[in-house]
Every structure is written in structure tokens, then in C-alpha cells.
A and B are shown apart, each in its own frame.
Chain A
Amino acid sequence: MSRSHHADKATGIGDPQCFKGEAGPAKFKLGDKVRVKDLPDIFYTRTQVYTRGAIATVVELVYESPAAEDEAWDNVDNPQWFYSVVFRQKDLWPEYPDVYANDTVETELPEFWLESA
């Protein structure tokens, strides 16, 4: 595979737009409760440690793309859906004050990091 395969694919289209339609059907939909898996990440990941094991709500299907864990090693063969998910702060940090129970964190995770909760 040429070093410029990414440029060839994305030029004039953009990244992640260039992977549109490549992920197949999405496993989760808006409003679904998902749990972030606690997978090993010895090489590279963009799934924050603070999200592991926590439950979140899917608020948007954002785009299709290879996961960062693959793309970091030049592997673009398995594009998947990315979800914007919202955590309650209280579910991430047990000491978060009850009086601010509505506060949230929103972040994006690829499908393989998520399971139904």
C-alpha cells in the first residue's frame, strides 16, 4: 500500500467524509444506553481511561471511520460507526457533588469500544 493512500482517498472529500458508507449498519441508535468496554490499549487508543466501564447515552451517530487504534498503524480496512455519547459526571467521578447532578461529559467513541447496557 502506498504511503499516499490516505491523501488519494480523502483529497477533495475530507476525512472522515471519505469513509462514508463503508461501515455497514450501525449497531446503536440515538438514545441507546451503552457501556464503554475495558479493552487493553498497550499501543494506541483515543478512548479515555476515565470512560472505561461507565454507562453513557448515544446522542449522535457522527461519522464512519477506521478506529484510531487501527488507523495509527495504517490500517483503514475496517471503518466503523462513531457515536457521540453523553456521560453523567456523577457516573464518572463518584465524588462529583450531588447538587450538580445534571452536569455531563460528551465525547466520541468507535463502535468496537461499546456494548449495550
Chain B
Amino acid sequence: MAKKHKPAPMVEEVSDFEILEVAVRELAIEKGLFSAEDHQRWTEYMHTLSPLPAARLVAKAWLDPEYKKLAVTDGVKASLEVGIDWVNSMPTKFGTPSDYCNLRVLEDTPKLKHVVVCTLCSCYPRPILGQSPEWYRTPNYRRRLVRWPRQVLSEFGLQLPEDVEIRVADSNQKTRFIVLPVRPEGTEGWSEDQLAEIVTRDCLIGVAVPKPSKTQNDKRPVHPAVRPVEHH
């Protein structure tokens, strides 16, 4: 008698939300709201996005006071100089309900530190910053940052003195935000390329500040739950 094998473990390759997305997408294509080609073009566009243009914008602003002025008054216009056209880069040419065409660049000072969240969902300046990190979309970050910003920032390793104002920007309508951090000491004489390298995605969201030696995001700290949910 052949040896009885255990069945191979099931791999849940597709989540319920992915199934829902496929169903809605197929209905929309059937209804003619957009075509399969439109969808493919959009997907391919989304895969081209990254935080590099935003890092470049910050580096340019550090080096050029006129450009900095433009960046903080008209983020959309300033984006053009780093290759991002908020209106026409998108395959739709008009934005989408999650990618509206309004960018504000929030300028930090030694006494003011901005940090961005979307408490209602997960609005994020994707055209200039790429896809949001997973933690940015979690209820944990969204609920806590707006209420306990100092605790949350310290979990990211960022402790700020009492006399620094923390300003949480809650991205709840059609504006998307990036942070223009203070240029760190130790970068005197650096080129735009060198400066852009230390402006990480986390610096642009505001949960980190640029440091001369740092070109990578930290791993997000994971703390065990104080009162873990019991699974039955």
C-alpha cells in the first residue's frame, strides 16, 4: 500500500481584497468605464513611480533659495523641474480620486518639524513619492500619529526637543504633502546628487530627518502588543 501523504499545504495566494479588486475591475471594463489597455497603462505607470523625484526636489531646494521659494509656494510647478507633471504624467491626464493634482511642500525649520499622515485612509503623494510603505497605511500609524506624535516618532528613532513644534499634516482632502527637512550639518559643499541620496522616503514623510551618513530607510520597529488579541 502506497504511503499516505499529507495534502500539500494550501497557499493563500490571493486575498479577499484582491478578488474584490479583480471583480470591480472586470465589471468596470465590461461597462466601458475604462478599457483593459487603460488599466494596463495605468499599472505600468504606477510601477515607474519612486521617491527619487521628491528627494531631488529637496536637494535642489537646499541648494537654490529661489527654487525653495517656488517649492513651498507652488509644489506642482516645482515638481516639473524634477520631471513630475502632476497633471500630464498620469495616463488619465487629470489625476484620480486618490492622486489629485495638488502638492504642498512643508518646510521644516530648526523649531518646526512636519510629519504626514492620512487618518481617514492612506492618501499619499504617489506621483512624486511612489507607493506608500505598508506601515503608512496601517490603522496603528494613522490613529496614533495624530494624537501621540512624539511617541510614534520616537518609535521610529526620532526624539525631538520640547521646544520644537511638531506639526502633523493630516492629508484629508485634495492636497498631498511632502516634507522639506532642514539640511543637516556635515553636508557643506555637497553636490545635488550627494544631497539627494540622504533624502530618504522616511525623511519625505517626516518620520526621520536626513543624516550625512544615512541613505536607507530604517526597518519599521515592531513592538509586541501590550494586550494581544487571542486567536481561537
Q: Is the CB of B101 within 8 A of A103?
A: no
Q: Does B131 contact A (CB under 8 A)?
A: no
Given A100-B162, A103-B166, also A14-B175 (CB < 8 A): no
A interface: dominant SS: mixed
Residue of B nearest to A99 (CB): B162
Residue of A nearest to B95 (CB): A15
Q: Is the CB of A104 within 8 A of B165?
A: yes
Q: Is the CB of A13 within 8 A of B87?
A: yes
Q: Is the CB of B170 within 8 A of A48?
A: yes
A67-117, CB < 8 A from B: 68, 82, 84, 86, 89, 92-93, 99-100, 102-110
Task: Say which one of B18-26, B46-54, B58-66, B144-152 lies at the interface with A.
Answer: B144-152
Extra contacts besides A16-B101, A50-B119, A105-B167 (11): CB < 8 Å: A12-B94, A16-B102, A17-B87, A46-B120, A48-B172, A62-B102, A102-B163, A106-B168, A106-B169, A106-B170, A108-B172
Name the interface size band of chain A.
Answer: 35 or more
Q: Does B41 contact A (CB under 8 A)?
A: no
Residue of B nearest to A65 (CB): B174
Residues of B within 8 A of A16 (CB): 100-102, 174
Given A15-B100, A108-B172, also A48-B119 (CB < 8 A): yes
B33, B166, B170, B173 — which one has the most chain A CB atoms within 10 A of its CB?
A: B173
Residues of A within 8 A of B173 (CB): 46, 65, 68, 82, 107-110
A99, A108, A109 — which one has the most chain B CB atoms within 10 A of its CB?
A: A108
Q: Is the CB of A14 within 8 A of B86?
A: yes
Residues of B within 8 A of A84 (CB): 104, 175
Q: Does B93 contact A (CB under 8 A)?
A: yes
Interfacial residues, chain B to chain A (CB-CB below 8 A): 33, 76, 86-88, 92-95, 100-102, 104, 119-120, 146-147, 149-150, 162-163, 165-175
Residues of A within 8 A of B167 (CB): 86, 103-106
Give 20 CB contacts A-B under 8 Å.
A13-B87, A14-B76, A14-B100, A14-B102, A15-B95, A16-B100, A48-B119, A48-B170, A62-B104, A62-B175, A63-B102, A82-B173, A84-B175, A93-B147, A100-B166, A105-B170, A106-B167, A106-B168, A107-B169, A108-B174
Given A48-B172, A62-B102, also A12-B162 (CB < 8 A): no
Residues of B within 8 A of A93 (CB): 147
Q: How far is the CA of A104 from the CA of B150 in the complex (A)?
A: 12
